[in-house]
Structure 1
Amino acid sequence: MNARDGEQSVGRGWLDVKGSIVDYMLVIIGFGLCRAWIVSCLSASVASFGPRTDWVFLLAGAASASLTAMAMTRFVGSLPRMHERLTDVMTGLILGSAICIPAAAWLDSPTLLMLGLIVGGAGAGLLQVIWGERFAAQNLFFSLACAPAAAIITGIVLAMSSTDNQLTFVVLPILSLLLLVLECKRCKIEWKTGLPEGVVEDDLDEAVIAPDEHGVLRDRMRLGKDSAKLLVSIMVFSFLIRAFDAFPIGDLDPFEMVGGSGSFSLVIVGAIFLAISFFIKDRMNVSLVYRLSLPIMIAGLIAMALLFEQRTYFSVLATSIGYELFDILSWVLFGEISRRIGRNAAPYVFGLGVAFTFTGMAAGYVLSAVLNPLVVSGAVRIGSVALIAILCLVVIAFLVLPESAIASMTAIKMPGKKTEAPKPDPAIEREPTITLEEKCSGIARECGLTPREEEVLAFLARGRTLTIVARDLHIAKNTARTHIEKIYQKTGIHKQQELIDFIEEWEPEENARKAADA
């Protein structure tokens, strides 16, 4: 998606959300149930096994999500074939977890528990990645509505359910999976190709065609610098919030009647995010959410470090609200990054996003288990840990992920002061509009392109992919690839978007001379 496509009307975007209310409900409920299942699995345990097991579930999820992202760095086969394989594996893992975790509780078996957490974590990683595809398939405004609403659903489900009820580990993942299948059927996504093993469809639109610095075309996807910073930041946020989970809390939870501070913070954050998105939709800037999340989380850590020197439910609530705001924002940004790279990039982007998030959470839980005995014994002060966490957040805010990086990832821009557009002067003679084909012909003459390369150039100018070029010109992919490489070499350009910009700005020499004289 280029910048022009991204700069769409905010009002029209919200109308699109209202028009797809069924998709909206399926996504928020299905994704909310998925998140509630993940949180429930982090508390799964058996009576005869004392050590923490949450990190096992998270590392398994990070591994499956990262493997999905690695598989997508080079396109193999078709999107339906990829979905067929991913969903077959995901379904088997989820069903295995739904059997093993309840069985472990009934039989008091640590072995079954570990097996259930490993397969469940792997299935949860894949399930989140494919739910991410549903976010990326819609527009930014759909994500701005769905992500916080799903957080509200997660909080409500956690408040109503209990990890002591083993049906939680069965109903939540299976219901989320069924809603995902229903949503994909509505979107006419065929997960079963019906082709024999080893045979793949060759109709996959590839991502942006971009040669490397040597002018060689690569099918591999790459994240931009700001996107990579977002991944590092969400990992650090997840690490910090989970590093305090095992520390003792010095007062009673005032929100125990509504499921506890954790569930309450999800509902509050979802409501705040929805309110920001809805009430200022005409001036929406996602940087505002980032601007709120950091000071709120830091306020909770300051309260822990300086005011109470202990972990109170006020500090838990504040840090949770700050973290959840950033977590929802990152999910929205992952969808926007996927749309910018290309429609097939969602498994890659969300795979990395889930992997980094789960890895940070797992590391935080491990550190929490190590520090907890030291804090209880007095060897380590919780205030000192909180101050180090504050320093990490300050580094993230100013050095790793400044607000400008967040703003650059979305197409919505804060409008400046409205000014009346200048009226065209009828006395000025307008130059005749030059068609795209005429521009391509002119560039072909200037750069010495062959007639066939000129035809390929016209396809690239319209943003077409390698597959489309080969199909519409009735030539082999390798032949099309060679023509594209020659075009980049002769024009001295190394990215398709740069080539498109060059073609749009190109003018015949006589027009350029007239403009210079004027």
Structure 2
Amino acid sequence: MCFGSMHLARGGDACPPFDAGAEGRAAGHRGLRSFTLLAFASWVQIAFFRVLSTPELSGNRFTHYLIPFSFACVTSLVMLLLCMRMSRYLNVSLAYRWSLPLFMLSYVPIIIDYGNVDLRILAYAINFLGMFGVQFGCWIGACKYLRRKGGGTVDLFSRYALGEGAGIFLGSLGGLFAVKSLDMQGIVALSIALMSLVVFVAMATGFNPNWVFHGSHAPRGRAPEDPKAASASRAAPEAIFLDEAVDLQNRFGLTERETDVAALLLEGRSRPFIRDELVVSINTVSTHVRSIFAKCGVHSQQELMVLARNARSDSED
């Protein structure tokens, strides 16, 4: 709640440096709203399940909590390293790609036998793995957002903290209601309904293009209003490549998506990197690359770089 108050006191998000005007600011807000909503829905699920699978007060709490937590901590670190090695570039989508299957799997042991202590321990361990996935995905995505688009650190993390806190509060209330007021059939029905709602929220928000933290270019013909912001933007290497891609767009009629791909090609990025950065399939990347080469009259990434560099040199002269 403190983070939420700080966010409200600061008046919301700072405008990302590559966005222009009210439209750009609205896009940034939409991205952060979906970020907050995902955090909220995920932590509702985590807290609800934590209450649902907790042991009786007379149970062995050391075995029930510490062993699953330690196992999940080590396993999640290994999984994160594998994700970084295989995916090469990570963003907020890691949170739902990692956590949703584990959230659904965690219900299986308690549905099989809700009174079995060993199965509850297993369910706890699986739920911990899902929790770490939410944390890793959101933290990695938040840091990447700040690096790529700028903005206030407090604004961004206050949204995550507020979503997490509100989710834990609501999920705990729902879990306490379930264990105190419902029979086994009612608990299962409520659990399935809640899990379905969380999956729906993740599907509705998880493909938000604002989570692809690649700086989007400003509309053509519109210069940044702040000269200092323009100077800083031009000084950034990514902004230079983006300017070159926009120049190619103006000269050869590239689409918006092709311009994003061209900017990454001009950075020297590989096709698998572009796939993970833009969250598309490798076939889609290849299709865009072929279209870019055909429109620009080049046959390789190196030729595209030379074309863009020569065009920049000519304009500067």
Q: By the TM > 0.5 criterion, same fold? A: yes
Q: Return the offset for 1:318.
A: 1.2
Aligned length: 237
CA contact (8 A) 2:32 2:156 kept: no
- Indicate whether 1:355 and 2:166 are aligned: no
- SS of the equivalent of 1:386 reads helix
Q: Return the offset for 1:314.
A: 1.4
Quick one: which amino acid aligns to residue 270 of structure 1? L
Quick one: which amino acid aligns to residue 385 of structure 1? L
Question: As a proportion of its length, which structure holds more helix?
Answer: 2
Structure 1 residues 303-322: aligned runs within 5 Å: 303-305=109-111, 307-310=112-115, 312-322=120-130
Moved over 6 A (4+): 250-255, 454-458, 506-509
- In the other structure, the counterpart of 1:212 is 22
Quick one: which amino acid aligns to residue 198 of structure 2? L
CA contact (8 A) 2:37 2:163 kept: yes
Structure 1 residues 129-278: aligned runs within 5 Å: 208=17, 210-212=20-22, 223-247=28-52, 249=54, 256=63, 259-277=66-84
The normalised TM-score by structure 2 is: 0.58
Counterpart of 2:212 (choices 409, 412, 422) is: 409
- In the other structure, the counterpart of 1:329 is 137
- Indicate whether 1:366 and 2:176 are aligned: no
Structure 1 residues 99-118: aligned runs within 5 Å: none
Q: Return the offset for 1:397.
A: 3.7
Partners of 2:138 and 2:250 lie apart in 1 by 45
Q: Return the offset for 1:248.
A: 5.6
- SS of the equivalent of 2:49 reads coil
- In the other structure, the counterpart of 2:198 is 393
- In the other structure, the counterpart of 2:98 is 292
Cα deviation, 1:3-39, whole Å, max 9, x if unaligned, reads: xxxxxxxxxxxxxxxxxxxxxxxxxxxxxxxxxxxxx
Cα deviation, 1:116-167, whole Å, max 9, x if unaligned, reads: xxxxxxxxxxxxxxxxxxxxxxxxxxxxxxxxxxxxxxxxxxxxxxxxxxxx
Q: Return the offset for 1:231.
A: 1.3
**Alignment root-mean-square deviation, CA:** 4.5
- In the other structure, the counterpart of 2:3 is 65
Name structure 1 gaps, 5 residues minimum: 1-62, 76-204, 412-442, 448-453, 466-496
Partners of 2:139 and 2:176 lie apart in 1 by 28
Cα deviation, 1:84-122, whole Å, max 9, x if unaligned, reads: xxxxxxxxxxxxxxxxxxxxxxxxxxxxxxxxxxxxxxx
CA contact (8 A) 1:242 1:361 kept: yes
Counterpart of 1:384 (choices 174, 189, 199) is: 189
- SS of the equivalent of 1:312 reads helix
Bigger relative contact order (CA 8 A; separation at least 6): 2
- SS of the equivalent of 1:382 reads helix
Partners of 1:330 and 1:244 lie apart in 2 by 20
Partners of 1:247 and 1:455 lie apart in 2 by 53
Partners of 2:27 and 2:204 lie apart in 1 by 22
Partners of 2:245 and 2:230 lie apart in 1 by 7
